[in-house]
Amino acid sequence: MSYVLDVVKPLALTIVKGQGNQLFDQAGKTYLDTFSGIAVNALGHQHPAILEALNAQANQHLHLSNFFRTQAQEQLAQSLTEASGMAKAFFTNSGTEATEAAIKLARKYGRTHQSNKTRIVSVEGAFHGRSTGAMALSGHDDTHASFTPLMEDTVRVKRDDIAALEAVMNDEVCAIVLELIYGSSGIYVLGDDFLRAVMRLAKKHQALIIVDEVQTGIMRTGSMFYFQQTPIEPDVVLAAKAIGGGLPLGAMLVKEPYIHILSPGDHGSTFGGNPLACALGQAVMNTIMEPSFLHTLCENMSYLHAQITALAYRHPKIIKDVRGVGYMLGVELYEDAIPFRDAALTHGVLLNVTSQTVIRLLPSLIFTRDEIDALTQSLDTLFLKT
């Protein structure tokens, strides 16, 4: 019997150790990890840079609260703002909390223009967190019914539907929130034409553009943030997952004109910007910004995409589509993907399934060509048995 509340359905194995891109269960069996903690463990497990930062910060202090400035927090804030083109960072404990901070900033910003400029527009199918505020922006109605009423004055439009976006945009909209690549509902990528329409309408109606990079950020798509590969120019960027190096950490990154919207007392967090998490996050940033690391990463990302595409050509009756960018790929099947996930366990490969039919690949940034070959060979074997 487990004493953990049953709100998730974990795989039927207990992990006792991780090393690189390998996980080990209680029986000593080894598994190839394509989850990377759902895009959290950017450098895999027990990376030397993470262990060094962990020990160094643990010998200084673990927690002080935001009544004090810390070197670890200031360094990571500088790294994230410089990498994103934003001006200031507010640290949280998670992506959900970063979303909530952005909601408050957007609503207060709107009221600097007019009292009823409080509406927030988002896109169906996106996921921005599990708080009632974040849920109101997320397009997953099947999980909403038991928790209504959610936050009011929000509206969602269909993905890439410019006409629908134009229909809801007016001067009462204070912000548009976007997940540029869907993380939990199929790895769909928002189109550039839609993003250009967002830019045009946001400017016309003086609405903030808030981009959720919780899963796509920190080089997961081959650039520090995915928006840097698109026409969108965000006013606020939300980050989390990989920025804590394996520990809980989120951030709201804000562009220069809006850094004074929230005043002291408007928002806060006891644990947000925890020095240990920030120190590990800085170790991640230092590592992934090395030119040699970036070169190898981009080559391996291209190799993974080529191998998965070749797999789709070999199994056209099983694989319906391959979507995504970099190390954030969705392999959509014509049938339920859960049996393939379960069968992969016997091959020592851990696969994540979302939307029932999509295998979501989120390997760490240190995933190697040999490991890509092992992954694709295992999938090939599984598909041949179907």
So what's the pLDDT on residue 12?
A: 85
Q: Which uninterrupted H or E stretch holds 307?
A: helix 291-314
Pair 280, 46: CB distance under 8 Å? no
So what's the pLDDT on residue 110?
A: 98
Is 275 found in the same domain as 326? no
Is 269 found in the same domain as 133? yes
So what's the pLDDT on residue 10?
A: 87
Domain that residue 272 falls in: 49-288
Is 336 found in the same domain as 210? no
Is 8 within the bounds of a domain? no
Distance in angstroms (rounded) separating the CA atoms of residues 224 and 239 = 11
Is 340 found in the same domain as 369? yes
Is 341 within the bounds of a domain? yes
Is 312 found in the same domain as 256? no
Is 238 within the bounds of a domain? yes
Is 6 within the bounds of a domain? no
CB atoms within 10 A of CB 336: 11
Is 29 found in the same domain as 58? no
So what's the pLDDT on residue 8?
A: 85
- Starting at the edge strand found earlier in the chain, the sheet holding 352-354 runs 319-325, 328-333, 358-361, 352-354
Is 210 found in the same domain as 84? yes
Is 197 within the bounds of a domain? yes
Pair 371, 21: CB distance under 8 Å? yes
Is 115 within the bounds of a domain? yes
Is 294 found in the same domain as 279? no
Closest CA to 172 of 205, 202, 197, 124: 205
Is 350 found in the same domain as 308? yes
Distance in angstroms (rounded) separating the CA atoms of residues 188 and 322 = 10
Pair 256, 93: CB distance under 8 Å? no
Residue 314 sits in a domain of what CATH number?
3.90.1150.10
Is 19 found in the same domain as 72? no
Q: How far apart are the first and last CA of the chain?
A: 34
Is 3 within the bounds of a domain? no
So what's the pLDDT on residue 1?
A: 81
Last residue of a domain, one of 228, 263, 288: 288
Closest CA to 326 of 197, 178, 219: 219
Is 110 within the bounds of a domain? yes
Is 334 found in the same domain as 217? no
Last residue of a domain, one of 257, 288, 319: 288
Last residue of a domain, one of 288, 315, 330: 288
Is 30 found in the same domain as 166? no
Per-residue pLDDT of the chain (386 residues; tens, 9 = 90+): 889 999 888 888 999 999 999 999 999 999 999 999 999 999 999 999 999 999 999 999 999 988 999 999 999 999 999 999 999 999 999 999 999 999 999 999 999 999 999 999 999 999 999 999 999 999 766 778 888 899 999 999 999 999 999 999 999 999 999 999 999 889 999 999 999 999 999 999 999 999 999 999 999 999 999 999 999 999 999 999 999 999 999 999 999 999 999 999 999 999 999 999 999 999 999 999 999 999 999 999 999 999 999 999 999 999 999 999 999 999 999 999 999 999 999 999 999 999 999 999 999 999 999 999 999 999 999 999 87
Question: 173-209: buried (b, 16+ CB within 10 Å) or exposed (e) per residue?
Answer: bbbbbbbbbbbbbbbbbbeeebbebbbebbeebebbb
For Cα atoms 79, 42, 125, give the angle at the middle one, nearest 5 degrees. Answer: 95
So what's the pLDDT on residue 99?
A: 98
Residue 102 sits in a domain of what CATH number?
3.40.640.10
Total structural domains within the chain: 2
- Entry pTM: 0.96
